Amino acid sequence: MTDITHFINDLPATETGLGAVLSDVVAACREISRAIDRGALTGAMGSQGESNVQGEEQKKLDVISNDLFLEHVQRSGLVAGLVSEEMEEPFVPRGSSLSKDTGNRRYLVLFDPLDGSSNVDANITVGTIFSILHYQESQTEPIDPSYLQAGAKQICAGYAMYGSSTMLVLTVGRGVQGFTLNRDTGEFILTHPNMRIPPDTHEFAVNMSNYRFWESPMQHYIDDCLQGKEGRRGKDFNMRWIASMVAEIHRILIRGGIFMYPIDSKIRKQGGRLRLMYEANPMSFIVEQAGGMASTGRHRVMDIEPEALHQRIPVVMGSKNEVETVTTYYRR
C-alpha cells in the first residue's frame, strides 16, 4: 500500500521543498500522536495552569504539541515563520530570512497544535490543523504582512486526527487524501484516497446551547431542520456535536454533514469562535477540495482577506447543497 512518502515524492516539481516541509509536519504529528497515546502514563493530562493568547485555558498537551510541532517543522530550513494558536507572535526559526538572515526559506506554516483540546482529558478525539502559504520575501517584520494571505492562497492544508486511529488528511489542491498511521511501523498509509463529501445530508453539527444567542437566519435554518418531515425541509435531521472540529470535519468527509459555528451575541465582539488562519482556512481548503463548500453564511471563507493573525470568523461548512441552503437563509 502507498505510504505518505510516495505521496510526498509525487508533489508538483514547481513546489520545491514543500515535500521536505510536509515530511517534518508528518514527523511532528506522529510525535504528538505518541504523546497523546501515552496520556496519563507520562503525567501529560490536565491543565497547564495558564491561558493562551485567546484567553483560553491551556492544557499540558497544548503546550507539548506546540513545542513538538515547532521543533520538527523548522528542521527543513525552508520555513520562514510559523504562527500558532498557542503563541501571540509568530515564531521565526533561527537563520530565517525573517530574522534578516538570507536563506532558502519559502514557506509559512500556520497551525493549531491541538484543536479541541478541552476534550483531551476525556479521551475524546482531538487534532492538529495546519496551513502552508508561500512566504513572499519582500515583506518585513514585525508582524510580517505576508502571513495575512487569504485562504485561497494556501498551497497545502491538512489535519492530523488522534482518534481510535491516528489519521493524516491533507490537500495540495489536487483532491483530498487520507492516511492512517500504522502504529507498529510509524508509517502513514494511504487508506482513504480521493475523499469526497456527499453533496446532500440530513446531519448537522452545531452547539445548540447557543441557539438563543444566534442571529435569526441561523435560528430559522435550525428551526426548519428540527421540524423534519413535517416542515419545509421535508426530511428528518440528525444532530452530532463532538466539540472537536477535526473530528467533526472528518465525519463529514466520511459520510457528509454540515458543521457550523455561527456568530452569536456572546462572541460578536471577537468576530466568531473559530480562528480564520489556522482553523477555518485549512479546513475550508480540504472541504472544497473534497467537493464541499465553506462559507461564513455570507461569504466564501477562503476569499476573506485576513486582518490579524488570530482573527476569528463564523463558519458553515460541509455538504455543498446543505451549505448553499444555509446561505439562502442569510440572503433572505
Task: Estimate to the nearest angstrom the gap between the alpha carbon of 229 and the chain centroid.
Answer: 33
Q: Which is nearer to ligand F6P, 115 or 322 (CB)?
A: 115
Cβ–Cβ < 8 Å for 211, 222: yes
Tell me 304's DSSP state.
-
Q: Which is nearer to ligand F6P, 78 or 287 (CB)?
A: 287
Q: Which is nearer to ligand F6P, 245 or 277 (CB)?
A: 245
The C-alpha atoms of residue 58 and residue 67 are separated, in whole angstroms, by 13
Binding to ligand F6P in span 95-134, by CB under 6 A: 115-116
Q: Is the peptide bond before 262 cis (omega within 30 degrees of 0)?
A: no
Give the three cell numbers for residue 223.
428551526
Cβ–Cβ < 8 Å for 272, 281: no
Q: How far is the CB of 229 from ligand F6P (least distance, A)?
A: 28
Cβ–Cβ < 8 Å for 160, 153: no
Cβ–Cβ < 8 Å for 205, 241: yes
Q: Which is nearer to ligand F6P, 266 or 299 (CB)?
A: 266
Residue 142: CB atoms within 10 Å: 7
Binding to ligand F6P in span 226-245, by CB under 6 A: 243-245
Q: Which is nearer to ligand F6P, 1 or 243 (CB)?
A: 243
Q: Which is nearer to ligand F6P, 22 or 129 (CB)?
A: 129
Q: How far is the CB of 245 from ligand F6P (least distance, A)?
A: 3
287 near ligand F6P, judged by CB under 6 A: no
- The alpha helices in the chain, defined as continuous H runs, are 4-9, 18-38, 60-72, 216-227, 245-255, 281-289, 320-331
Q: How far is the CB of 161 from ligand F6P (least distance, A)?
A: 11
Total interface residues for ligand F6P by CB under 6 A: 7
Cβ–Cβ < 8 Å for 295, 174: no
Q: Which residue is nearest to ligand F6P (CB)?
A: 245
Binding to ligand F6P in span 245-264, by CB under 6 A: 245
**Angle subtended at Cα 190 by Cα 184 and Cα 195, rounded to the nearest 5 degrees:** 140
In the stretch 193-222, what mask flags binding to ligand F6P with x, by CB under 6 A? --------------x---------------
Q: Which is nearer to ligand F6P, 5 or 207 (CB)?
A: 207
Q: How far is the CB of 127 from ligand F6P (least distance, A)?
A: 8
**Chain length of the chain:** 332
Q: How far is the CB of 215 from ligand F6P (least distance, A)?
A: 16
- Bridge-based pairing state of the strands 203-205 and 238-239: parallel
Where on the chain is the footprint of ligand F6P (CB under 6 A)? Answer: 115-116, 207, 243-245, 274
